[in-house]
Amino acid sequence: MARAQGDAPLDRELADLPPDLRWREWMRRIEAVLFASAAPVSREDLARVVGQKASLDLLVADLGAELTGRAFEIAEVAGGWMFRTRPTYAPVIRAAADVGDQMLDLREFDIAVLAAIAYQQPVTRDGLKEIFGKEISRDLIGRLHGQGLIATGPRSPQRGAPYTFVTTERFLVAFGLQDLRDLPDPEQLADAGIRQDHAG
């Protein structure tokens, strides 16, 4: 977030305030930034609005505690924090609000392909064909790309230099992941009864 030209520099330290009021003001600043942002806000960006010795983790935790019982929460996803409506209220939002392109239209096989891309990225269409034992349609890849869940990755070093696919920040946000290390490991999937062999 760039500062508008002519704005006075932000007093981050708030040294003239008593400690409890300073803490509360830092919390409100974080709340304002998260409220205004449609994407996760990084630690570095939030650090620009609080004192140098302030603990962002504690400030965010205190703000989250204040939201207990509210319809929204703070989620740590995609390398930052953002406000998110609690899942309990998803049907209410769909019934009353125009959520447009925010809603994901995913079938079971779409999710399986997304998972394969997430675990194997960067992966080519031929790589997906090997995993599933069949060609993955351009239409499916186009839908996932159009919903912002995958992007084109680096060209593969193999003959013909085919395009590869990778997941995006929107993928992390949609599935509530901080980063790809939060994906369940294959043993967890097997323990949960999820088949790893999608061929057929």
Q: What is the CA radius of gyration of the chain?
A: 21
Residue 36 has what pLDDT?
Answer: 92
Please name which of 12, 99, 107, 4 lies closest in space to residue 51, comparing C-alpha atoms. Answer: 12
Residue 200 has what pLDDT?
Answer: 35
Residue 198 has what pLDDT?
Answer: 43
pLDDT single digits (tens) 108-140: 888 889 988 999 999 999 999 998 889 999 999
pLDDT single digits (tens) 86-103: 888 878 887 887 655 556
Residue 3 has what pLDDT?
Answer: 53
Q: Domains in the chain and their CATH numbers?
A: 19-89 (1.10.10.10), 104-191 (1.10.10.10)
Residue 99 has what pLDDT?
Answer: 59
Work out the mean pLDDT of the chain and round it to a whole number. 85
Confidence check: pLDDT of 199 > 90: no
pLDDT single digits (tens) 131-181: 888 999 999 999 899 888 999 998 888 777 788 999 998 898 888 888 888
Torsion, Cα 20 25 27 29, to 10 degrees, reads: -170
pLDDT single digits (tens) 29-88: 999 999 999 889 999 999 999 999 899 999 999 999 999 999 889 999 888 999 988 888
Confidence check: pLDDT of 4 > 70: no
Please give the share of the chain, as a percent, with pLDDT higher than 90.
Answer: 44
Helices 56-66 + 19-36 axis angle, to 10? 80
- For residue 55, which phi and psi values (nearest 5 degrees)? -90, 110
